[in-house]
């Protein structure tokens, strides 16, 4: 059977999922009356909420005797470990853009990777029925984007279709005809090359993504590069160091619509899932016994940040979650490391804590949020970068940062990045009053910067970060300037007490919230930490004043998201994460212990 392998690149809410649903319907994958509750591509709750694709997924449609495998790609650089390998499975990309919003930042990172690998794009301008649609201008913007991403002449000569995914039509002009997606299917068959078939060579495939299935165990997905894979065939996993393991292909699954269907054999060019192995992982080559050389794999970027995940030992521990022991937390983390190759887990000496190393704050934040929703309670530390020492010199991870901002904000961005020890490497106008600035910045300087960056650029700036390499240590970077307000009592916070504390600094909590000794309830307006009593109620007297008592009017507290809380804390503080709450606290809750620790640190 003829094959085409394509990846779909789209910003959140540009209609990718709806378009794929329409493609599945029109290709006959669903029956006319079939209820399809779940959106095919973004099935994970966190993906739906954050509007980012975290896990790569695959589906397929049949059209005129050709099977089209469709792979969805994550758009964020923290999941860049997935992106490059996924794009190596496909032969073409469909770039989907909104007819009003035009190409957006989330598409930029992946589009740049796809163009760099030499893939030829097809552009689909979606939602042309919107009142504010400007399809032809958006088409020109796509050309400008590809040019800015250094596309070659062949890639710049891309075909374009105009579509309304919700109504299930695509055409060569915004006016229609508005009858079906046939032009899109036909264009994919014509424009995307078929994969190279070399059926006579021995079987080999590159493992691209890994997941754990409760019934089948570990499942690796990848594209077969050469040969034919048959059920129960003896195969081996190899990498540069030699043979990893030998096993039988006990289950071969191929994509048919949104389901994975067992097949007896698969051949070069097809994307399949394979079960039966215990050690082979992403970037390894699975092949027939006679193959000795592994396929060239994209290297997995090493982790650059680490956090300590520990058991929640606060007085409120166990009141909101049901998974609280170190054994359960450890088992969950090691299970995550199996399927997420960019994460590395190390058990600490205390046995109650684990060091989790990953590619960035967002990646670790997503893991914590997922665990929190599964009922876990844990304490997490401030992220720290992973240093290396070579030839007696201390090296730290450096990231290449691409910033797209309006010209008026470029000054403040350069100033803030310079404070964070970033080195300006390039600055050029990109049209439309925007400037692209590139920096080489230490990873530790970027911790917690993204929120500040959005504030400085009035929410219009775009920032992409890519791991660059290790470089000599850049020196100290200034941290948080203000101290915090620490509760010195346990109980429920009282409105009158919080009202009296307002001149000390902004609060993080509402009245009637449970607090405990050592919990951080606000930010001090000065540089030192201050212990305060949030439980102090108003003293009642029997004297009646002529005017009635002043009603307590509180300023709304500063609510932090999980990522903001992690970026805010210092080394002697923790974020307590439960299914219902995010609290900040001091690592040592007793004030006397804190004094002893600070004295010994000074010595």
The response to whether 18 counts as a known ligand-binding position is: yes
The response to whether 548 counts as a known ligand-binding position is: no
Please answer whether residues 99 and 126 qualify as being in contact, where contact means their C-beta atoms are separated by less than 8 angstroms. yes
Measured distance CA(552)–CA(521) in Å, rounded: 18
The response to whether 360 counts as a known ligand-binding position is: no
Measured distance CA(82)–CA(79) in Å, rounded: 6
Measured distance CA(43)–CA(411) in Å, rounded: 41
- 483 burial type by CB count under 10 A (0-12 exposed, 13-18 middle, 19+ buried): middle
Per the DSSP assignment, residues forming a β-bridge with 442 are 398
3-state secondary structure of 437: strand
Number of Cβ within 10 Å of residue 434's Cβ equals 16
Please answer whether residues 486 and 416 qualify as being in contact, where contact means their C-beta atoms are separated by less than 8 angstroms. no
The response to whether 128 counts as a known ligand-binding position is: yes
Tokens coding 208: 């691209």
The response to whether 13 counts as a known ligand-binding position is: yes
Measured distance CA(103)–CA(87) in Å, rounded: 19
CA distances from 355 to 308, 333, 343, 386, 423 (A): 5, 10, 10, 11, 30
The response to whether 14 counts as a known ligand-binding position is: yes
Reference 155, options 113, 199, 106; nearest CA is: 113
The response to whether 17 counts as a known ligand-binding position is: yes
Measured distance CA(412)–CA(421) in Å, rounded: 14
Q: How far is CA 249 from the centre of its chain?
A: 32
Tokens coding 37: 């509750």
Tokens coding 300: 């997995």
Reference 386, options 378, 377, 394, 375; nearest CA is: 394
Phi-psi bin for 119: left (phi > 0), alpha (psi -120 to 50), beta?
Answer: beta
- 541 burial type by CB count under 10 A (0-12 exposed, 13-18 middle, 19+ buried): exposed
Number of Cβ within 10 Å of residue 466's Cβ equals 14
Q: Which positions make up the binding site? A: 13-18, 126-129
Q: Which positions make up the binding site for GTP? A: 13-18, 126-129
């Amino acid at each position: 059977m003829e094959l085409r392998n394509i990846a779909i690149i789209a910003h959140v809410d540009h209609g990718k999922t709806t378009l794929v649903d329409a493609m599945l319907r029109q290709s006959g994958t669903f029956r006319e009356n079939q209820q399809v509750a779940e959106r095919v591509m973004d099935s994970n709750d966190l993906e739906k909420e954050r509007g980012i694709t975290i896990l790569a997924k695959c589906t397929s449609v049949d059209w005129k005797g050709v099977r089209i495998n469709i792979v969805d790609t994550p758009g964020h650089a923290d999941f860049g470990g997935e992106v490059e390998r996924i794009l190596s499975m496909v032969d073409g990309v469909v770039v989907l853009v909104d007819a009003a919003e035009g190409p957006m930042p989330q598409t930029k990172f992946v589009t740049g990777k796809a163009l760099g690998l030499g893939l030829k794009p097809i552009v689909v301008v979606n939602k042309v029925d919107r009142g504010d649609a400007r399809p032809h201008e958006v088409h020109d913007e796509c050309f400008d984007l590809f040019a800015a991403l250094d596309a070659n002449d062949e890639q710049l000569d891309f075909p374009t279709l105009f579509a309304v995914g919700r109504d299930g039509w695509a055409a060569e002009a915004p006016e229609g005809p508005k009858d079906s997606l046939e032009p899109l299917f036909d264009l994919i068959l014509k424009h995307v090359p078929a994969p190279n078939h070399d059926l006579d060579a021995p079987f080999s495939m590159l493992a691209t993504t890994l997941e754990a299935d409760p019934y089948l165990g570990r499942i690796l997905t990848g594209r077969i590069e050469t040969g034919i894979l048959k059920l129960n065939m003896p195969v081996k996993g190899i990498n540069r160091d030699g043979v990893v393991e030998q096993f039988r292909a006990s289950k071969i699954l191929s994509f048919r619509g949104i389901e994975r269907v067992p097949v007896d054999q698969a051949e070069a060019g097809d994307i399949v899932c394979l079960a039966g192995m215990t050690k082979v992982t992403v970037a390894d080559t699975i092949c027939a016994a006679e193959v000795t050389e592994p396929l060239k794999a994209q290297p997995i970027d090493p982790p650059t940040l680490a956090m300590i995940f520990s058991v929640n030992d606060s007085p409120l521990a166990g009141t909101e979650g049901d998974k609280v022991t170190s054994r359960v937390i450890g088992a969950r983390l090691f299970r995550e490391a199996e399927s997420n190759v960019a994460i590395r887990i190390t058990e600490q000496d205390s046995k109650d804590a684990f060091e989790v190393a990953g590619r960035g704050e967002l990646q670790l934040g997503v893991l914590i949020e997922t665990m929190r929703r599964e009922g876990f309670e844990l304490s997490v530390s401030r992220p720290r970068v992973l240093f290396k020492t070579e030839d007696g010199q201390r090296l730290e991870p450096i990231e290449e940062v691409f910033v797209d901002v309006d010209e008026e904000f470029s000054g403040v961005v350069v100033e803030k990045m310079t404070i964070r020890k970033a080195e300006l490497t390039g600055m050029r106008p990109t049209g439309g009053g925007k400037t692209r600035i590139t920096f080489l910045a230490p990873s530790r300087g970027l911790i917690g910067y993204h929120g500040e960056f959005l504030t400085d650029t009035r929410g219009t700036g775009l920032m992409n970060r890519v791991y660059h390499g290790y470089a000599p240590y850049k020196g100290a970077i200034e941290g948080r300037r203000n101290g915090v307000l620490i509760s010195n009592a346990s109980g429920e916070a009282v409105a009158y007490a919080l009202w009296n504390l307002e001149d000390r600094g902004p609060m993080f909590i509402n009245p009637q919230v449970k607090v405990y000794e050592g919990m951080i309830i606000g930010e001090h307006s000065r540089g030192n930490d201050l212990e305060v009593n949030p439980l102090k109620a108003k003293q009642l007297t029997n004297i009646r004043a002529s005017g009635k008592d002043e009603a307590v009017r509180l300023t709304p507290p500063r609510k932090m998201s999980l990522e903001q809380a992690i970026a805010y804390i210092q080394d002697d503080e923790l974020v307590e994460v439960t299914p219902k709450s995010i609290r900040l606290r001091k690592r040592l809750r007793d004030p006397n212990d804190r004094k002893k620790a600070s004295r010994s640190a000074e010595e």
